[in-house]
Structure 1
Amino acid sequence: MSEQKPATGPIYRMPTVFGPAIGPRQAPEGVIFDPTTSPKKFCAYVSFRTDALLLEQMLPEDFTLRGDPIVIVEFGYMTEIDWLAGRGYNMLSVRIPVRFKHGNDSTVIDGFFQPVVWENMTEPILSGREELGWSKIFAELPAPEKRDGKIVCRAEWMGFRFLELTLTEIRKSDAAPFATSPVLHRKYIPTTGQWGEADADYITMTPAGGSHARLQEHFTGDASLSVFAPSWQDMPTQHQCVTYLARLPKHEYIQAGVYSTVGGKDLSDQIRF
């Protein structure tokens, strides 16, 4: 089964003078992307309980914590991506369980707020930031190391290792890794020449459901997560972000493991509030 969703109009990204931008939501003429087979994805994750006040300070207006103060950190390694002509890229995401109440209306959404995502390729970063409102930035995300019964995932920037997840005691699980929930983001684009003002500043949501992703296998394990606070010299443009994450205490590891999926969706169902 193949699927090509019609667009309401051509999607442009800079440089615009060469025509509409090819990407996950816009195929070249004559090409049809198949979300039932693309992408293939291997993920490693951990969730932990932390300090509620520190998490609350990260949340935009109209957001509150939902339940316990928990952080989910997940590495994703994607291959055989249709819109990249079979190539792949890697990502590292951070999510927080939240409740979102939109302004003065009656909209209430229980889901996850995603304050930051790292990826190791320019094109998905630009597409995700500009079209979807995801807070994507760059990092080097090498393939996971698998040896001696453990899996190690690392994130680096220009040679500085800022995050490392180690999984041990890995065992088969028949349960799904996570319940599917909406993921919320704050899209912000500054106004050129009017510094401190915004061209765009609003919440976007990646709805739950609609994905063709099929779980292939899931393993749980024991986790150890390290976040290394950089100096300004180590990570000049990202040290504030990583230092804040490094401050989060890990009171208790809740769940950890790895899983594999095939298929997905192009996220053209993204919602703006």
Structure 2
Amino acid sequence: MFRFEDNKCYRMPAHFGGFDCPGPEAALYYKDAVSVTFTYTTDEKQLASYVPEGFELLRPELNISYSQFREIDWMAGGAYNLVQVSVPARFNGKRDQLEGQFILVVWENKTWPILGGREETGIPKIYADIEDLHTIQPNYYTSASYEGNTFLRLELLGAKPVNGQLLSEMQASAATINALGWRYIPKVGAPGADLSQPILYPQGAEVHSAWAGSGTVKWTQLSWEQNPGQWHIIKALAELPMLEMAPVIMAKGVIILKPNNGRVLE
């Protein structure tokens, strides 16, 4: 009969056996990463309604980051794409007070990173088909869809290299990133949660090169029939007004995730 061992780490289905838990200094490396970040101001009250109690919205900004990851060590050199939507926030707890990006939702196009991110680190990950980054320089395009129904198109236009002091500032700010989230595990067969807790997932990036340009974000609302599990998420984000778009930034480099330094915030 299978028995759990207290000194092992497990993932579902756990009854096939555990593994030695990585130490606190273990890190996950994404050796070939391209990210394009879109930021626009929106209605503060409307945006704050999606930020849980305990967190404070710092600015009425919505950040949409598209990332194309290649040469991922923990995926044996594999790859996936994601779209992350987040807001600048501060956690005000009894023990912890820190600022970072509170993640509203992450779409990814591979199952394996979704499972680990949801269960183990509390990042709200769900599935979508996400295109690789298409380019007709100096313009870049991508889109996200579900079963053939596109709900998001992103465009970076007129990208120009970033150098000097501005690049140095970007490199410094990206070195340490506090990804904040809310881990919610529902009860089985009953209302409420078995786990409902704020979390910190430390990460960072080594930015090797960067570009800046203008950009567009186009949300397309889907019906329940087109996307029964996500339509309400897309609707909420699409209804946030785009008041002012900041310069769009594309960066290339290495992403470093530190899940074993993650923790529940108090």
Please classify the TM superposition score into its range, dividing by the shorter chain length.
Answer: 0.7 to 0.9
* 8 Å CA contact 1:188, 1:201 repeated in 2: yes
The reply to whether residue 201 of structure 1 matches residue 196 of structure 2 is yes
What is the CA-CA distance between 1:99 and the residue it aligns to?
Answer: 1.7
TM-score, L = length of structure 2: 0.88
Q: Match of 1:125, SS? A: helix
The one-letter amino acid paired with 1:97 is P
Q: Secondary structure at the match of 2:8?
A: coil
Could you tell me how far apart the structure 1 residues matched to 2:161 and 2:57 are?
31
Indicate the structure with greater helix content.
2
Q: Do the aligned partners of residues 263 and 71 (structure 1) sit closer, same or farther apart at CA in structure 2, a change above 3 Å counting?
A: closer
Output the amino acid matched with 2:122: G
1:184 corresponds to which of 180, 199, 224: 180
For residue 147 of structure 2, what is the amino acid of its counterpart?
M
Q: Which residue of 1 aligns with 2:3?
A: none
Partner of 2:81: 90
Give the TM-score, by structure 1 length: 0.86
Q: Report the CA distance shift for 1:182/1:38 in structure 2 as closer, same or farther (over 3 A).
A: closer
**2:100 maps to 1:111:** yes
| Structural mapping, 1:1-273, within 5 Å | 9-20=7-18, 38-66=30-58, 68-102=59-93, 105=94, 107-174=96-163, 175=167, 176=170, 178-179=173-174, 180-194=176-190, 196-207=191-202, 211=204, 213-273=205-265
Say if 2:27 and 2:259, in contact at 8 Å, map to a contact too: no
Residue 110 of structure 1 contacts residue 181 of structure 1 at CA under 8 Å; is this kept in 2? no
Q: Which moved more, 1:9-18 or 1:215-224?
A: 9-18
AA aligned to 2:236 is Y
Deviations 1:116-152 (A, max 9, x none): 0011111110001010000000011110110152100
Instruction: Look up the SS of the partner of 1:126 in the other structure.
Output: helix
Q: Which amino acid is 2:12 matched to?
A: M
AA of the residue aligned to 1:85:
A
Shift of 1:255: 2.7
Q: CA deviation at 1:159?
A: 0.6
- The percentage of aligned residue pairs carrying the same residue is 29
RMSD: 2.2
* 8 Å Cα contact 2:30-2:69 kept in structure 1: no
What do residues 11-60 of structure 1 show as CA deviations (whole Å, max 9, x unaligned)?
211111211269xx759xxxxx885x643101111100110011110010
Compute the displacement of 1:267 (Å): 2.0
Aligned partners of 1:207 and 1:271 also within 8 Å: no
User: Are the equivalent residues in 2 in contact too, given 1:173–1:218 (CA < 8 A)?
Assistant: yes
Q: Please give the per-residue CA displacement for 1:58-112, whole angstroms capped at 9, x wherever unaligned.
A: 010112211x30011001111111111111111110110112112xx25322222
Give distance in 2, aligned partners of 1:166 and 1:238: 23
Q: Which residues of structure 1 form unaligned runs of 5+?
A: 1-7, 28-32
Secondary structure, in 3 states, of the residue corresponding to 1:233? coil
Amino acid in structure 2 at the alignment position of 1:116: V
1:161 to 1:88, Cα distance in 2 relative to 1, 3 A = same
Q: Which amino acid is the alignment partner of residue 148 of structure 2? A: G
Q: Is 1:34–1:82's contact at 8 Å kept on the other side of the alignment?
A: no
Structure 2 gaps of 5+ residues are 1-5
> Could you say if the C-alpha distance between residues 150 and 58 of structure 1 is closer, same or farther in structure 2, counting changes exceeding 3 Å?
same
